[in-house]
Amino acid sequence: MAKKRSTHPSANSSPNAKAIDLDQHTVDGAGEFLTSNQGVRINDDHNSLKAGDRGPTLLEDFLLREKITHFDHERIPERVVHARGSGAHGYFELTQSMAKYSRASFLQEAGHRTPVFVRFSTVAGSRGSSDLARDVRGFAVKFYTDEGNFDLVGNNMPVFFIQDAMKFPDLIHAVKPEPHNEIPQAASAHDTFWDFISHTPEAAHMIMWVMSDRALPRSLRMMEGFGVHTFRFINANNESYFIKWHLKPVLGMKSVLWDEAVRISGADPDFHRRDLWESIASGNAAEWDVGVQLIPEKDEHKFDFDLLDPTKLVPEELVPITSFGRLVLDRNPDNFFAEVEQVAFHTGNIVPGIDFTNDPLLQGRLFSYTDTQLIRLGGPNFHEIPINRPINPVHNNQRDGFMRQMINRGKTAYDPNSLGGNDPHQAKSSEGGFVSMMERIDAAKVRARSRSFTDHFSQAAMFFQSQSPIEQTHIMNALRFELGKCDTLAVRERMLYLLSQIDGGLADDVATGLGMHVPKKIDGYLNANVGADTDAKALQPKKFVGEAPQSPPLSIVLSAKPGMKTARIAMLVTPGFDEKSFLVVKRALIAAGGDPKVIAPHAGMVMGDEKTEIAVDFSLPTVCSVLFDAVYVAGGTESNTILESDPRAIEFVEEAYRHCKAIAATGNAVEFLMTTRVSKGITDHDDAIATGEDRTAGRVADLFVNAISQHRNWSREPKLFPIR
């Protein structure tokens, strides 16, 4: 059983602390006898105890009862939100001391490493739902610091739908499957969600984010993370700075198209989970630059929005990000349930040097997370589950409860005491004792929303207008899709009106897709989130007029980082493939950091023109091109005739073309491409299509690598799908 926590290998502040060590809790059973939970060796695990081999089973069969009882209790309630998740271990390395701003021990010495566990998630779907839902992604980081656990329970979008925790159950009930028929799963495209949103203009900014490509990440390793709320850093002199957390993926941000997302959901609903798992297993750690926007206390009111309003972001043009560390995920969990399912995050898990603000959404979260773990993990001792334990020792007078693991010695479980020497005892702040920031509050007790929270459209407009034209089109198409799935006309109408308050052009374009007109006014008020005695009229947001300031970091396309590290490339081969050109392309892809996979009409081995056999990674019927970033078709003696007669091969390349991916072909595979819709791209000299003779494979490979490094050729999309 568990050693004393103080001997935990990660508990020292060694800069080499790699990841939280759960080894002391892991077993693999290799070479061991099968036993009961009481340690009794089992002789027959296949047959129950019966009165005769054709007779009734006996109640005394303690082995059968134990096995079945445990099985019957295998499920715990899934998370109410963020049920679908994936996790990984790693570390946070401080690259620059933040001692000037925070006294947190893990932020003092550059080079210091803190073990972390991260859980990514979607929000709306159930545990078994697809990874590719159009949704916000949770990005929750548990830092096992040597002063206790600090949890950054963030998202991949920097703002939220609502401003006050009181609205959270309404929001979630609206987005979850409708209660009468439990439809649809993991989707916001239905009446109740948009009905709620159409009455909730404070969601306008977040809606722009959720309808954007940010909601469809290519990989969990390629999305940003944000703390969302404004938090505080507190330094050793008790000076406070407002902070906004930012995590920027080293691989850059990348997304998929909605059409791909829909297909991936069928072809591989574990697409993100698998991608994270496989990349870590193959030695490619996922990495983010970690930083904060720092705002001195005196600047609290210098913005034209309220720092406490979680529907607002602080544009990087106003406050640049101070980057100070690396978050690296380099180890897969040993057991999904024990780690990813049982990990319990809590916004209230903070350490000295970090503090909260009065953001009313954050304040509500401070209640919710413990409460939810109590029902989910079944009692008050969930902090003792290995993945949730801090790496430094825990001593207090809390006792007993379901599943208590700690065996406390001595007879005192109260404070103050003299019988136990009054230990454990309090720590002075100079000894690391946590002291809340002394914030002066002098106010009337009210149930109200601050007037400084009523501008709902300026930042929504800023986000929309900061997108590249292609991303704006994706937002428009997303809204056409989502509202097109709403059965109730009044919901669509109110949404069109709400969109017209953000951007008239966007509202008109969405309306065209719905075969409707944007209404000039709607019945009742737009903002229905007011108390019964409140004057609703005074709380209606003002339409955004004019041009919004541009913020390029808000756009994935405008802030793209070229590169193809870990890109997955399909190499389509047929028997008799041209080995030389195949190898030239394959080597170039690997040299550029790509991950090529061989795909052939059948599984097993495939022989090239020089009689070398290579292993097939996937047969054509088991995959489709949405699972890859790019496609290369190898030439060969018969490649064109074999592929031309295979509808799956045709679909494979045409789909990649439709999704603006890089495509390459050598030798007579080019003839094959010319028989498909890709021929249009070849004749149009599309930048992301590289073709040539087998002997020019080197040049083809260079062009191909360059095209994959751009991720997508977005200029192809308007040619294929002109807006109507």
Assess contact for 200 and 161: CB atoms under 8 A.
yes
Three-class DSSP category at 340: helix
- The correct pick among 22, 124, 153, 292 for binding ligand HDE (CB under 6 A) is 153
Assess contact for 168 and 210: CB atoms under 8 A.
no
Q: Does 81 bind ligand HDE (CB under 6 A)?
A: yes
Three-class DSSP category at 416: coil
Which tokens belong to 382? 């969930």
* Rounded least distance, CB 346 to ligand HDE, Å: 8
Nearer to ligand HDE, 156 or 713 (CB): 156
With a CB cutoff of 8 Å and minimum separation 6, the contacts of 242 are 230, 231, 232, 294, 295, 296, 297, 299, 300, 307, 357
The separation between the first and the last C-alpha atoms of the chain, rounded to the nearest angstrom, is 66
For tokens 């698998």, the residue is 274
- The correct pick among 8, 79, 254, 389 for binding ligand HDE (CB under 6 A) is 79
Distance CA 499, CA 479 (A): 10
Q: Does 165 bind ligand HDE (CB under 6 A)?
A: yes
Tell which positions 611-640 bind ligand HDE, by CB under 6 A.
none
Distance CA 211, CA 123 (A): 15
Cα of 79 vs its chain's centroid, Å: 15
Q: Does 453 bind ligand HDE (CB under 6 A)?
A: no
- The correct pick among 143, 150, 168, 582 for binding ligand HDE (CB under 6 A) is 168
Of 152-160, 314-322, 473-481, 673-681, which segment contacts ligand HDE by CB under 6 A? 152-160
Nearer to ligand HDE, 20 or 703 (CB): 20
* Rounded least distance, CB 707 to ligand HDE, Å: 35
* Rounded least distance, CB 456 to ligand HDE, Å: 16
Nearer to ligand HDE, 164 or 609 (CB): 164
Nearer to ligand HDE, 157 or 476 (CB): 157
226-246: b or e for each residue (b if 16 or more CB lie within 10 Å)?
A: bbbbbbbbbbeeeebbbbbbb
Q: Does 187 bind ligand HDE (CB under 6 A)?
A: no
Nearer to ligand HDE, 175 or 588 (CB): 175
* Rounded least distance, CB 374 to ligand HDE, Å: 10
H or E element in which residue 369 lies? helix 360-377
Distance CA 192, CA 124 (A): 13
The mark string for 361-380 relative to ligand HDE (x by CB under 6 A, - otherwise) is x--xx--xx--x--------
Distances (CA, A) of 564 to 116, 227, 254, 362, 530: 27, 28, 11, 38, 49
Distance CA 301, CA 586 (A): 56
Assess contact for 140 and 382: CB atoms under 8 A.
no
Other Cβ atoms closer than 10 A to 381: 17
Q: Does 541 bind ligand HDE (CB under 6 A)?
A: no
- The correct pick among 115, 138, 249, 692 for binding ligand HDE (CB under 6 A) is 138
At 666, give phi and psi (nearest 5°).
Answer: -130, 155
Of 45-53, 150-158, 206-214, 625-633, which segment contacts ligand HDE by CB under 6 A? 150-158
- The correct pick among 8, 20, 22, 85 for binding ligand HDE (CB under 6 A) is 85
Nearer to ligand HDE, 245 or 704 (CB): 245
Taking the CA atoms of residue 680, residue 684, residue 687 and residue 691 in that order, the dihedral angle to the nearest 10 degrees is 60
Q: Does 155 bind ligand HDE (CB under 6 A)?
A: yes
Distance CA 476, CA 509 (A): 7
Nearer to ligand HDE, 229 or 492 (CB): 229
The mark string for 314-353 relative to ligand HDE (x by CB under 6 A, - otherwise) is -----------------------------x-x--------
Of 76-84, 318-326, 409-417, 439-447, which segment contacts ligand HDE by CB under 6 A? 76-84
Nearer to ligand HDE, 79 or 456 (CB): 79
Three-state DSSP string of 485-549: CCCCHHHHHHHHHHHHHHCHHHHHHHHHHHCCCCCCCCCCCCCCCCCCCCCHHHHCCCCCCCCCC
Q: Which of 155, 156, 477, 529 is catalytic?
A: 155
Nearer to ligand HDE, 150 or 168 (CB): 168
Reply yes or no on whether 284 is catalytic.
no
Q: Does 148 bind ligand HDE (CB under 6 A)?
A: no
- The correct pick among 2, 64, 80, 674 for binding ligand HDE (CB under 6 A) is 80
Q: DSSP string spanning 539-578?
A: GPPPPP-SPPPP-GGG-TTTT-----TT-EEEEE--TTB-
Q: Which of 82, 112, 246, 383 is catalytic?
A: 82
Three-state DSSP string of 245-287: EEEEECCCCCECCHHHHHHHHHHCCCHHHHHHHHHHHCCCCEE
Reply yes or no on whether 149 is catalytic.
no
Assess contact for 184 and 239: CB atoms under 8 A.
no
Nearer to ligand HDE, 97 or 370 (CB): 370
- The correct pick among 20, 140, 141, 290 for binding ligand HDE (CB under 6 A) is 140
Tell which positions 189-248 bind ligand HDE, by CB under 6 A.
228
Tell which positions 106-125 bind ligand HDE, by CB under 6 A.
119, 121
Of 74-82, 572-580, 698-706, 716-724, which segment contacts ligand HDE by CB under 6 A? 74-82
* Rounded least distance, CB 177 to ligand HDE, Å: 17
Distances (CA, A) of 683 to 660, 690, 717: 16, 12, 16
Nearer to ligand HDE, 81 or 507 (CB): 81
* Rounded least distance, CB 365 to ligand HDE, Å: 4
* Rounded least distance, CB 85 to ligand HDE, Å: 5
* Rounded least distance, CB 171 to ligand HDE, Å: 8
- The correct pick among 10, 11, 20, 82 for binding ligand HDE (CB under 6 A) is 82
Which tokens belong to 472? 């704006």
- Residue number with the smallest Cβ distance to ligand HDE: 138
Other Cβ atoms closer than 10 A to 472: 20
Count the residues of the shown chain that bind ligand HDE, applying the rule CB under 6 A.
Answer: 25
Please report the beta strands in 179-236, taking only residues with DSSP state E, as ranges in sequence order: 225-226, 231-234
Assess contact for 217 and 254: CB atoms under 8 A.
yes
* Rounded least distance, CB 197 to ligand HDE, Å: 16
Assess contact for 644 and 672: CB atoms under 8 A.
yes
* Rounded least distance, CB 349 to ligand HDE, Å: 12
Nearer to ligand HDE, 138 or 636 (CB): 138
Distance CA 263, CA 444 (A): 54
Please report the beta strands in 642-688, taking only residues with DSSP state E, as ranges in sequence order: 662-666
Give the residue numbers marked as catalytic: 82, 155
Residues lying near ligand HDE in the complex (CB under 6 A) are found at 79-82, 85, 119, 121, 138, 140, 153-155, 160, 165, 168, 228, 310, 343, 345, 361, 364-365, 368-369, 372
